[in-house]
Amino acid sequence: MSCGAIGAPQPWICGYRPVVTFGETAHNRLTAVELARLTRAGELTATEVMEAHVAEIERLNPAVNAIVDFRPERAIAAARELDRTFRKDGPHGALHGLPVAHKDLVPAAGFRFTQGSPLYADRVAMQDHVVVERMAAAGAIAVGKTNVPEFGLGSHTFNDVYGVTRNPYALDRTAGGSSGGAAAALAARMLPLADGSDTGGSLRNPASFCNVVGFRPSPGRVPSWPDGDPFSRLSVVGPMARTVDDLALLMSVLVGADPRAGWSVPADPAAYFPLPEPRRPIRVAWSPDLDGRVVVAREVRDALEPVVAAMAAHGWEVEPATPDLTGAIETFRVLRALKMQVTLGPVLAEHPGRLKADAQ
């Protein structure tokens, strides 16, 4: 397939070959859907899948710095225990034996929970976020956390606790943010799946920077608890993966109401995975620069235009269209400021001058 073709298994972004070599083992080259199928069937053990991914993390993470608070011994021990109790005819979770890491904006019991802030550099979580609970209940095994900007503020992933996360396609370029650690870990095949969160693009922008898939769910579709602003609809948690099918698999695990979450709605996991056949004809709106409202680099246009052509070649109806976003930026800024006041106002009052400039 050519660069940008639909479904192309791209080992590099158009024009950018990766600086590091991805996927040294067969296990790391498999999709999450394939890995889960093979582990549930007993054709692969959780231990060998985990050891393959741990080896990749140890090889690549020193350069990329995507996964933080890495706990390989804990993860391998959990994989061995999963294998010890495995019965081929028994019930197995949708993510049986898959290695994952959780964004360092959500707590995962026993792992550090820094939120990228020196104020919390040594804090260890005592409870799990609901997305951590649900992934673990589905059989996933956590190997660590993924790096974030301080308090998730900003579109580039760096902080004074763990440092800079680099784009595995070009180590001198950004991985995006705030789910930059998750996106970079997926792109480098250190993980098959990861969770993220999104206030103003934090699932989508790092995914686009790192050639993976990020999906911002509708508010309430994936519950969030514990949450410092439980009734806000601005921020959501959601899935990240290397393929749309993999993302749908994780989404099916994450969706559904939770009585602890202030804003969550019921959902049928079967509606998400396997992906339903799309209605025909498929109509896609295309706007490269929102009718001149935003500046888009020539390299980005060059990467996207073959994708548009590929969609049209597959019979999709591609129509130029620009939504009316009058007032959207100002509205977002006000809502974001209100959210920061609720979640970070008390922290700033207790530690004046010790938060990054974006939070002051």
Identity of the residue numbered 345: G
Annotation marks residue 117 as catalytic:
no
pLDDT tens for each residue of the chain, 360 residues long? 233 333 333 444 444 455 556 666 788 999 999 999 999 999 999 999 999 999 999 999 999 999 999 999 999 999 999 999 999 989 999 999 999 999 999 999 999 999 999 999 999 999 999 999 999 999 999 999 999 999 999 999 999 999 999 999 999 999 999 999 999 999 999 999 999 999 999 999 999 999 999 999 999 999 999 999 998 999 999 999 999 999 999 999 999 999 999 889 999 999 999 998 888 889 999 999 998 888 999 998 998 899 999 999 989 999 999 999 999 999 999 999 999 999 999 999 999 999 998 887
Q: Please choose, from the candidates 217, 200, 205, 112, the residue with its C-alpha nearest in 3D space to the C-alpha of residue 157.
A: 205
198: helix, strand or coil: strand
Q: Which two tokens stand for residue 223?
A: 């519950």
pLDDT of residue 44: 97
pLDDT of residue 281: 84
Domain that holds residue 337: 277-351
Catalytic site residue from 197, 202, 232, 264: 202
For residues 56 and 137, membership in a common domain is answered with yes
pLDDT of residue 22: 63
Strand partners, 318: 284
Cis-peptide into 274, omega within 30 deg:
yes
What is the DSSP secondary structure assignment for residue 124, as one 8-state letter? B
For residues 307 and 263, membership in a common domain is answered with no
For residues 336 and 301, membership in a common domain is answered with yes
Annotation marks residue 264 as catalytic:
no
pLDDT of residue 153: 96
Bridge pairing between strands 141-146 and 99-103 = parallel
For residues 84 and 169, membership in a common domain is answered with yes
pLDDT of residue 262: 82
Catalytic site residue from 117, 178, 179, 264: 178
pLDDT of residue 24: 63
The domain that holds 91 is classified in CATH as 3.90.1300.10
The alpha carbon of residue 293 and the mean position of all alpha carbons in its chain are separated, in whole angstroms, by 28
Annotation marks residue 235 as catalytic:
no
Identity of the residue numbered 188: A
Tell the residue number behind the tokens 């580039």, with chain if given: 156
For residues 96 and 62, membership in a common domain is answered with yes
Tell the residue number behind the tokens 């503020």, with chain if given: 153
For residues 324 and 177, membership in a common domain is answered with no
Q: How many domains does the chain have?
A: 2
